[in-house]
Structure formats: structure tokens, C-alpha cells
Homo-oligomer: A and B are copies of this chain.
């Protein structure tokens, strides 16, 4: 196996390509890829605790704080108290946040099409399924790996 066949490297390069293009696509809306992803997640779920966001996005809770701060300052998301557990704060998108997300999604999807341009729908489904299996591992295994 030569270095050109390094699957880990290929994965890393493909990811970097996707992030770079999405970053560029989101520039007109002044949104980072991670803010966009967080916004998408809270819109789809109707609101999540910051801890749940950290778990889903595989980020440290302290990074979620910074991302939510940024979105809240711009009026795109807000923290709502959770009466059931006053330690938690439910992060939810504002109406303006949802509108911004819809516009952003069009741009991001187009940038992803550029990256995946050579893959037909069936291949994309296969890729999606395989990546899901890679990512959705037993959390205990990831824990053990540190």
C-alpha cells in the first residue's frame, strides 16, 4: 500500500475539501460551518441542551458556549431556561435564525454538490451509510480510545 492509498489521509483530505467549500459558500451570510451545523441541529430538534449539542457535534461543551454566544449576539438563536432541570439551557433558533438557516442551506447544499459532483445518488447513499457506521460507533469504544 502506497501513501496514495492511505485511507485515513483520503478521509481527511475529503473532509477538508468539504469544510473549505462550505466555509466559502457561507461567507456571504457571515456564518461559520460550525455555527451553521449547530443552527441546523437545534432547528431540527426544536431545541437542545448544550450538553446534548456537544455530544452530537463531538465538541467540547466550552466550544458550544462560544458558538451559542455568537448566534445569540446576532439574534439567530437564544437560550431558554429548562424548568425541569435548572442547570440546563435549551438552545433554540429564533425566527430570524430559521430564515438565515434556510438561505444558508441552499448555499451549503450547492457547495456539497461540487465536492460530491462525481458521485451519483446511489453512490452518495452508500457513502452516507458507510460514514454513519464509522461515526455511530459504540460510545464506549470511543471513550476507551480517548
Partner pick for A124 among B3, B7, B14, B131, CB 8 A cutoff: B7
Contact B44 A2 (CB under 8 A): yes
Which one of A71-79, A81-89, A114-122 is at the B interface? Answer: A114-122
Contact B17 A15 (CB under 8 A): no
State A43–B145 Cα separation when bound (angstroms). 29
Q: Contacts of A10 on B, CB cut-off 8 Å? A: 128, 131-132, 135
Contact B127 A7 (CB under 8 A): yes
Q: Contacts of A14 on B, CB cut-off 8 Å? A: 11, 15, 131, 134-135
Contact A123 B130 (CB under 8 A): yes
A94-138 residues with Cβ-Cβ distance < 8 A to B are 108, 112, 114-119, 123-124, 126-128, 130-135, 137
Question: Can you report 12 residue pairs joining A to B where beta carbons are below 8 Å apart?
Answer: A3-B37, A3-B45, A7-B124, A9-B37, A10-B132, A13-B131, A16-B58, A17-B134, A17-B137, A24-B145, A116-B134, A119-B130
Closest 9 CB pairs of A and B: A15-B15, A10-B131, A3-B40, A118-B133, A3-B44, A14-B134, A3-B41, A13-B135, A8-B18
